[in-house]
């Protein structure tokens, strides 16, 4: 795929003002801040996070973030959290709080009707409540625990409404499972995630197939959106040329009127389409890096002295075909700063 779409999107995005989205209000142990396109640094109280920035905690690390004075984000150990954005209906931008791996508790002090979405490698949740904990497992699965209010969990084209003291689990590429009651609103993440790790070792091929299914979902979104974006961008280039000609022939006032009526709407549409392309591309990249990549490392270590084992061979087959699809569709939408 040609890179012109990416370059065009980047030029359009320079129009956006990336105001500070959140700030670090507490750190303990190993906590890193990964600004978009920059090297990791040790997180400090008072650090700001913008779109694309990540907080990464180690085995002994935890952090608290404050978002717009209304949302507190408690980041547990062994967690990767990223601030993202996508475009909704009508081009309205929607903040997304992404949990690639680990455990985070979100507390919304008040609901404004424009709460951010929460995403994991396997699901998206719309906030209709005030307190929930999100777990993202080593196999790409997710667990949502609602302590107060309601949360609409969506995956595989299905939506499930989870209420107070209820939980729901989602496997990659699958619709939400059955809701269940949570006693005292608590689940031990390490115990839950260990089960996921054990399941990977028990049946590596099935674990990889579930991740592949989720990857296909992201790629499908990209395949549907990319031609539309290219078409919009081509129309935008043509309209910009017409605008310039109008300016030469009829003057600045006519040029301004033509811009408002023909150019700005296309710029807005192209920007919204590009934001969503990047959202799906980065979601796919996160799935490949933090789930499939770690799965591969764990299994390669497990079978280091038994590379010809048929169980490992079946996993490798799925792994390689997933990576091949990722490289063909997703990689052209990434830039060096993403990696």
**In angstroms, rounded to a whole number, what is the distance separating the alpha carbons of residues 150 and 206?**
32
Q: Give the pLDDT of residue 114.
A: 73
**In this predicted structure, what is the pLDDT of residue 339?**
74
CATH classification of 204-338 is 3.30.420, yes or no?
A: no
DSSP-derived 3-state class of residue 327? helix
Q: Do 315 and 208 contact (CB within 8 A), yes or no?
A: yes
Q: What is the pLDDT of residue 12?
A: 46
DSSP string, 7-43: HHHHHHHTTS-----EEEEEEESSEEEE-TTS--EE-
In tens digits, what is the pLDDT along the chain, a chain of 339 residues?
444 444 444 444 444 444 568 999 999 999 999 998 788 999 999 999 999 999 999 999 999 999 876 789 999 999 999 999 998 777 788 899 999 999 999 998 766 667 889 999 999 998 877 899 999 999 999 999 999 989 999 998 999 999 999 999 999 999 999 999 987 667 889 999 999 999 999 999 999 999 999 999 999 999 999 999 999 999 999 999 999 999 999 999 999 999 999 999 999 999 999 999 999 999 999 999 999 999 999 999 999 999 999 999 999 999 999 999 999 999 999 988 787
Q: Which residues contact 65 (CB under 8 A, 6 or more apart)?
A: 22, 23, 24, 25, 49, 55, 72, 73, 75, 81
pLDDT of residue 333: 93
Q: Which two tokens stand for residue 243?
A: 């605008």
The DSSP annotation for 258-304 comes to HIIIIIHHHHHHHHHHHHHHHHHHHHHHHIIIIIIHHHHHHHHHHTT
Q: Which helix or strand (DSSP H or E) is residue 55 part of?
A: strand 54-57
pTM for this entry? 0.89
The pLDDT score that the predictor gives to residue 196 is 96
Give domain limits for the chain.
19-200, 204-338
The reported pLDDT for the residue numbered 68 is: 74
Characterize 191-200 residue by residue with b for buried, 16 or more Cβ atoms within 10 angstroms of its Cβ, and e for exposed: eebeebbebb
pLDDT at site 1:
41
Burial of 33 (0-12, 13-18, 19+ CB in 10 A): buried
Write down the pLDDT at residue 3.
46
pLDDT 10s digits, 79-104: 999 999 998 777 788 899 999 999 99
Distance CA 240, CA 189 (A): 53
The confidence score (pLDDT) of residue 108 equals 86
| Among 33, 104, 29, 119, residue whose Cα is nearest residue 71 | 104
Cβ-contact 247, 291 below 8 angstroms = no
Asked if domains 19-200 and 204-338 share a fold, the reply is no
Which stretches of 156-295 are assigned E, i.e. beta strand? 158-163, 166-170, 180-181
The CATH code of the domain at 19-200 is: 2.60.120.1440
Q: Which two tokens stand for residue 53?
A: 């920035």
User: Which pLDDT score, from 0 to 100, does residue 109 have?
Assistant: 78
Position 5 scores a pLDDT of 46
Q: What is the pLDDT of residue 113?
A: 67
């Amino acid at each position: 795929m040609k890179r012109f779409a990416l370059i065009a999107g980047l030029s359009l995005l320079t129009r956006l003002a990336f105001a500070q989205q959140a700030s670090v209000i507490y750190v303990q142990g190993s906590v890193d801040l990964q600004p978009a396109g920059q090297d990791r640094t040790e997180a400090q109280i008072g650090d700001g996070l913008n779109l694309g920035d990540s907080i990464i905690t180690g085995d002994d690390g935890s952090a608290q973030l404050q978002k717009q004075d209304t949302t507190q984000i408690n980041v547990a150990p062994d967690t990767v959290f990223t601030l993202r954005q996508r475009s909704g209906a009508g081009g309205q931008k929607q903040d997304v709080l992404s949990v690639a791996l680990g455990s985070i508790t979100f507390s919304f002090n008040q609901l404004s009707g424009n709460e951010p979405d929460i995403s994991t490698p396997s699901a998206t949740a719309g906030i209709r409540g005030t307190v929930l904990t999100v777990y993202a497992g080593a196999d790409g699965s997710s667990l949502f625990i609602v302590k107060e209010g309601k949360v609409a969990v969506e995956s595989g084209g299905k939506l499930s409404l989870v209420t107070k003291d209820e939980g729901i689990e989602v496997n990659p590429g699958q619709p939400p499972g059955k809701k269940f009651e949570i006693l005292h609103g608590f689940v031990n993440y390490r115990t839950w995630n260990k089960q996921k790790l054990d399941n990977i070792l028990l049946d590596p091929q099935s674990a990889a197939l579930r991740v592949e299914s989720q990857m296909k979902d992201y790629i499908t979104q990209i395949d549907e959106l990319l031609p539309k974006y290219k078409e919009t961008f081509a129309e935008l280039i043509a309209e910009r040329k017409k605008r310039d000609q109008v300016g030469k022939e009829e003057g600045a006032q006519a040029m301004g009127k033509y811009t408002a009526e023909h150019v700005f709407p296309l710029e807005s549409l192209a920007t919204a389409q590009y934001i969503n392309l990047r959202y799906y591309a980065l979601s796919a990249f996160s799935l490949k890096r933090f789930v499939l990549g770690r799965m591969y490392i764990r299994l390669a270590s497990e079978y280091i002295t038994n590379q010809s084992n048929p169980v490992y061979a079946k996993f490798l087959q799925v792994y390689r075909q997933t990576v091949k699809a990722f490289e063909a569709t997703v990689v052209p939408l990434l830039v060096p700063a993403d990696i």
